[in-house]
Chain A
Amino acid sequence: MSVVVYTESEEGKFKKIAQEAVSYAKGIADKMGTPVTAVTINGGDTSELGKYGADKVLNVSNDKLDKFNAEAYADAVAQAAKKEGAKVVVVSSSANSKYMAPLLAVNLDAGYVPNVTELPESTEPFKVKHSVFTNKAFSITEFKTDVKIVGLAKNAYGVKENEAAGTAEDFAPELSSEDFSVDVVSVDKATDKVTIADAEIVVSGGRGLKGPENWEMIEEMADILGAATACSKPVSDMGWRPHSEHVGQTGKPVAANLYIAIGISGAIQHLAGINASKTKVVINNDPEAPFFKNADYGIVGDAFEIVPKLNEKLKEFKAQNG
């Protein structure tokens, strides 16, 4: 009857979203009076998961699962959920989890609600709050199914320590060749860059920066802050920056602790996609830019003057504060 949570790792290290997902699963399990079982796939040292509330860790080690494969992973997690008799399965909002969750829902004949921002307001009936209309609203949604899949929004619940046993147990799901019918030929991933999905801080530039040659100062700021770089849609449409940096309603969602928008006007489609970020800073020379109505802090002024000064100040600050 435990709450099962799928925990993602990379190169043997659990991601922050995995810690968050376990913390959240623990919150649900406490409401339901059941234990938490984490499922990890080639995850490395599982003892860490106990710290966030996992009573048990089902550890899947299988070379065939070295590369993420949605169908095979969904099959493995479904088998773990069945073994545990889980009524609730928690997944995160990473690209991989969002790929896997619908398949898992069919495997378990479970309802699935993504982008959930809080603990369920009740577990009987099971009701969760999740963002809809790209952060322009929330829906309180009731599950009608026996098994429920909850997709936790990034950076909404937070990481909470809650010591539990975290007893590891090997688990070998039965996988068929059909699970691997989508063949992953190659993976091309920049390992030295912070991704928008994982970043705590995102530095984003818009059309106000005039051209791709001016992104050096944006990258410098990202470097100083350990941040990811992002951009508005026209910037990627014009090829100044890669599409993978396009954020907003039709691009990537951003739910960072800090979002710094430089030379971005704050169109409704842009704001929708970044609104789940906690603190928003805008630097723009037009005091009428709509972003000023949506940010927490702002400087009205020319980015080409302010950003280099800000970078110097941030360097100084980092030197003092580590």
Chain B
Amino acid sequence: MKILVCISHVPDTTSKINFTDNDTKFDTNGVQFVINPNDEFGLTRAMWFKEKQGATVHVVNVGGAETEPTLRKALAIGADEAIRVDAEATDGFSVAKQLANVVKEGGYDLVLGGRESIDYNGGMVPGMIAQLTGANFVNTCISLEIEGDTATAIREIDGGKETVKAKLPLVVGGQKGIVEESDLRIPNMRGIMQARKKPLTVKDAVDANAETQTAQFEKPAPKGDIKLVETVDELVDLLHNEAKVI
């Protein structure tokens, strides 16, 4: 089984979000980048398929050279090879088109992405890859088993879950649950040394115009001061008469 894990290179969850160039660009100054948490759950599940079912695992990112340390980290966690498509990741649809091309050329059986990336929260790349390549698609996946050419997956839905079966090739939008938090791996020294020697191929981008474009960023209005109260009577009164939410 050939697995491709899509890795989004995103600001660490504690990052301060600021913008430059008249609020048209994200300010990367002092920001630490990490593997998108939802993608890391998928990557960890891929390691399980590698170790238990002999799968080959490639990781891919669409982005500039600055994203390579994130790909190296994925290699240190255990992926066999990395691919970077040399294109600016401007919008979800164009990124999906780049990735769909990698999927077609590589003949992958399983593509693991995240439910959404924590930077632009688009939540569209895995679904678009599936539709562009004609593969099946399962989103918000919290359990994934593969036997032969058939996948059994559990998908989180609003208020419950749903079990689905689908044939490979399959694209999955993963999240916590596909593996547990405690299954996540911190690369060890040996992994880091090995990662330096593993192939990281830079691929030229295919033509794919952005379908949407950020014109301007805005920060939310600053929060007003909190009202501290002493008693539950005051609280219930304020929630009813002032906030009007009960």
Instruction: Please tell me if the beta carbons of B37 and A250 are within 8 angstroms of each other in the complex.
Output: yes
**How many angstroms between the C-alpha atoms of A184 and B235 in the bound complex?**
45
**How many angstroms between the C-alpha atoms of A205 and B96 in the bound complex?**
38
Instruction: Please tell me if the beta carbons of A182 and B176 are within 8 angstroms of each other in the complex.
Output: no
Question: Interface readout for B120-154 with A: 1 if CB under 8 Å, 0 if not?
Answer: 11111111101110001111101000000000100
**How many angstroms between the C-alpha atoms of A310 and B131 in the bound complex?**
50
B240 within 8 A of A: yes
B197 within 8 A of A: no
B91 within 8 A of A: yes
**How many angstroms between the C-alpha atoms of A145 and B211 in the bound complex?**
6
22 A-B contact pairs sorted by A residue (CB < 8 Å):
A95-B158, A106-B132, A110-B211, A111-B93, A112-B124, A127-B215, A136-B219, A142-B212, A182-B164, A187-B160, A188-B160, A193-B159, A244-B160, A250-B37, A250-B118, A268-B13, A281-B235, A296-B226, A298-B227, A306-B232, A314-B236, A314-B246
Instruction: Please tell me if the beta carbons of A279 and B239 are within 8 angstroms of each other in the complex.
Output: yes
A55 within 8 A of B: no
B30 within 8 A of A: no
Query: CB within 8 A of B124: which of A105, A269, A279?
Result: A105
**How many angstroms between the C-alpha atoms of A312 and B37 in the bound complex?**
40
Q: Given that A187-B160, A249-B13 are known contacts, is A298 also in contact with B217, CB under 8 Å in the complex?
A: no
B14 within 8 A of A: yes
Instruction: Please tell me if the beta carbons of B121 and A132 are within 8 angstroms of each other in the complex.
Output: yes
Interface size class of A (residues with CB under 8 A): 35 or more
A195 within 8 A of B: yes
Instruction: Please tell me if the beta carbons of A103 and B127 are within 8 angstroms of each other in the complex.
Output: yes
Inter-chain contacts of A164 with B (CB < 8 A)? none
Instruction: Please tell me if the beta carbons of A243 and B236 are within 8 angstroms of each other in the complex.
Output: no
Q: Which residues of B contact A (CB under 8 A)?
A: 11, 13-14, 17, 19, 37-38, 91-93, 96, 118-128, 130-132, 136-140, 142, 152, 156-167, 173, 175-177, 180-182, 209-220, 223-224, 226-230, 232-233, 235-236, 238-240, 243, 245-246
Report the 5 A-B pairs with minimum CB-CB distance, sorted nearest first.
A102-B127, A189-B160, A195-B159, A111-B211, A106-B131
Looking at chain A's contact residues, the main secondary structure is mixed
Instruction: Please tell me if the beta carbons of A103 and B156 are within 8 angstroms of each other in the complex.
Output: no
B133 to chain A, nearest CB (A): 10
A183 within 8 A of B: yes
A177 within 8 A of B: no
Inter-chain contacts of B125 with A (CB < 8 A)? 102
A37 to chain B, nearest CB (A): 23
Binds B, one of A25-33, A79-87, A287-295: A287-295
A147 to chain B, nearest CB (A): 10
A152 to chain B, nearest CB (A): 14
**How many angstroms between the C-alpha atoms of A182 and B181 in the bound complex?**
27
Instruction: Please tell me if the beta carbons of B128 and A102 are within 8 angstroms of each other in the complex.
Output: yes
A309 within 8 A of B: yes
A144 within 8 A of B: yes
Closest to B100 in A: A106
Inter-chain contacts of A292 with B (CB < 8 A)? 226, 228
Instruction: Please tell me if the beta carbons of B121 and A115 are within 8 angstroms of each other in the complex.
Output: yes
Q: Given that A132-B119, A225-B246 are known contacts, is A140 also in contact with B214, CB under 8 Å in the complex?
A: yes
Inter-chain contacts of A95 with B (CB < 8 A)? 139-140, 156-158
Question: Interface readout for A258-300 with B: 1 if CB under 8 Å, 0 if not?
Answer: 1000000000110010010011011000000000111111111
Instruction: Please tell me if the beta carbons of A250 and B230 are within 8 angstroms of each other in the complex.
Output: no
Inter-chain contacts of B220 with A (CB < 8 A)? 135-138, 275
Q: Given that A111-B211, A144-B213, A299-B228 are known contacts, is A310 also in contact with B246, CB under 8 Å in the complex?
A: no
Inter-chain contacts of A181 with B (CB < 8 A)? 136, 166-167
Closest to A138 in B: B218
Closest to B124 in A: A102
A134 to chain B, nearest CB (A): 6
Instruction: Please tell me if the beta carbons of A188 and B232 are within 8 angstroms of each other in the complex.
Output: no
Query: CB within 8 A of A98: which of B123, B163, B215?
Result: B123
Q: Given that A138-B218, A268-B13 are known contacts, is A321 also in contact with B121, CB under 8 Å in the complex?
A: no
Inter-chain contacts of B131 with A (CB < 8 A)? 74, 102-103, 105-107
Of residues 227 through 244 on chain A, the ones whose CB sits less than 8 Å from some CB of chain B are 233, 237, 243-244
Inter-chain contacts of B236 with A (CB < 8 A)? 310, 313-314, 317
Instruction: Please tell me if the beta carbons of A313 and B233 are within 8 angstroms of each other in the complex.
Output: yes
Q: Given that A258-B243, A317-B246 are known contacts, is A185 also in contact with B164, CB under 8 Å in the complex?
A: yes
Inter-chain contacts of A186 with B (CB < 8 A)? 162-163
Inter-chain contacts of B121 with A (CB < 8 A)? 114-115, 131-134
Taking A182-B136, A296-B226 as given, write out 17 further A-B residue pairs in contact, using a Cβ cutoff of 8 Å, ordered by the A residue number.
A95-B158, A137-B19, A138-B219, A141-B212, A145-B212, A182-B164, A182-B165, A184-B162, A187-B160, A189-B157, A233-B181, A237-B180, A237-B181, A244-B161, A249-B37, A292-B226, A292-B228
Instruction: Please tell me if the beta carbons of A138 and B122 are within 8 angstroms of each other in the complex.
Output: no
Instruction: Please tell me if the beta carbons of A141 and B213 are within 8 angstroms of each other in the complex.
Output: yes
Inter-chain contacts of B230 with A (CB < 8 A)? 299
**How many angstroms between the C-alpha atoms of A74 and B131 in the bound complex?**
10
A157 within 8 A of B: no
Instruction: Please tell me if the beta carbons of A201 and B216 are within 8 angstroms of each other in the complex.
Output: no
Instruction: Please tell me if the beta carbons of B176 and A250 are within 8 angstroms of each other in the complex.
Output: yes
Inter-chain contacts of B120 with A (CB < 8 A)? 132-133, 139
Inter-chain contacts of B233 with A (CB < 8 A)? 313
